[in-house]
């Protein structure tokens, strides 16, 4: 990806808690355990205009060896706009794969299948393979992000908090499929509160460590316990290292090439 490697890593479960197997009855959360997908690329791009479906332009996605990538674009409302795209790789193909086949492939790959794995794959198959506006409405109620500033000023930690957020209920969220990926685009500028908090964070990224976990909310016994789909840690991120995406030419220009 275009984001320099020293700024990002996978923090494992990052200390996050998720809904346990009997959450619907007892509201108990449990330690998350390691994420199911592996963080393989992060792209940081400066854009002329906010852009939906950015993964189709990314070499990190196009050239990925993994059978499937789950990409999340945070559309950061600064001037000029910035796209922060995290891509997590699945060990098996997911797009247009029926749930039973997905479970069988995953079990064959990993040699085991925990109740959490089965619940995760059930939620994932429904989330990825739905079509049309109804599927998007369902996704808007499911896609969840847990934020945590693990290092930074107290006011930042307080503002960002650690409460899980169903992003599609708070922000304009769009979904796209490509040949080897599924992309979620989160328009942070759609909420004035989210935009102001984000702008505060963006202004101080060099002094922060921000952890984020993404997952699909378990809303039925069959989709519990929850599992983290992926996590990302951004540490001392320098926003000035963003590459520039030239939309007219359809190419990415590294900052050193702009000088």
Which tens digits make up the pLDDT trace of 13-25? 999 999 999 999 9
User: In what side-by-side order are the strands of the sheet with 68-76?
Assistant: 172-177, 181-187, 68-76, 82-90, 38-46, 243-246, 251-253
Output the CA angle 136-20-148, nearest 5 degrees. Answer: 70
pLDDT at 202: 82
| pLDDT exceeds cutoff 90 at 247 | no
pLDDT at 195: 84
The domain spans of the chain are 5-258
pLDDT at 200: 84
pLDDT at 192: 86
pLDDT at 76: 93
pLDDT at 248: 83
Output the CA angle 34-38-44, nearest 5 degrees. Answer: 120
| pLDDT exceeds cutoff 80 at 41 | yes
d(CA 19, CA 35): 14
Query: Phi first, then psi: what are they for 231, rounded to 5°?
Result: -135, 160
Query: Phi first, then psi: what are they for 110, rounded to 5°?
Result: -95, -10
Name the strand (E) or helix (H) holding 106. helix 99-110
pLDDT at 258: 66
pLDDT at 218: 98
Tokens of 67: 């059978």
**What residues pair up with 87 in beta bridges, in sequence order?**
41, 71
pLDDT at 228: 98
| pLDDT exceeds cutoff 90 at 52 | yes
Residue 59: pLDDT band (50, 70, 90) is very high
Query: Phi first, then psi: what are they for 195, rounded to 5°?
Result: -65, -40
pLDDT in tens, 103-124: 999 999 999 999 999 999 999 9
Instruction: Name which of 94, 88, 89, 99 is nearest 222 in CA terms.
Output: 99
Tokens of 92: 């098996």
pLDDT at 156: 86
């Amino acid at each position: 990806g275009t984001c320099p490697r020293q700024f990002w890593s996978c923090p494992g479960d990052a200390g996050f808690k998720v809904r346990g197997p009997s959450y619907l009855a007892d509201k108990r959360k449990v330690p998350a355990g390691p994420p199911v997908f592996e963080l393989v690329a992060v792209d940081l791009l400066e854009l002329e205009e906010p852009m939906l479906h950015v993964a189709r332009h990314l070499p990190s996605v196009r050239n990925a060896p993994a059978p499937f990538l789950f990409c999340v674009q945070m559309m950061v409302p600064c001037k000029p706009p910035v796209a922060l795209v995290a891509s997590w790789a699945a060990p098996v193909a997911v797009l247009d794969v029926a749930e039973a086949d997905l479970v069988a492939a995953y079990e064959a790959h990993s040699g085991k299948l925990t109740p959490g794995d089965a619940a995760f794959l059930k939620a994932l198959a429904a989330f990825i393979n739905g079509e049309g506006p109804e599927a998007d409405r369902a996704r808007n109620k499911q896609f969840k992000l847990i934020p945590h500033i693990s290092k930074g000023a107290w006011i930042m930690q307080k503002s960002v908090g650690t409460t899980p957020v169903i992003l599609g209920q708070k922000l304009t969220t769009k979904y796209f499929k490509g040949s080897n990926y599924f992309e979620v685009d989160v328009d942070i500028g759609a909420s004035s509160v989210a935009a102001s908090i984000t702008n505060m964070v963006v202004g101080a990224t060099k002094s922060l460590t921000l952890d984020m976990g993404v997952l699909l909310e378990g809303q039925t016994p069959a989709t519990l316990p929850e599992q983290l789909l992926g996590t990302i840690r951004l540490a001392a991120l320098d926003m000035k290292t963003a590459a520039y995406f030239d939309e007219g030419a359809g190419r990415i220009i590294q900052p050193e090439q702009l000088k």
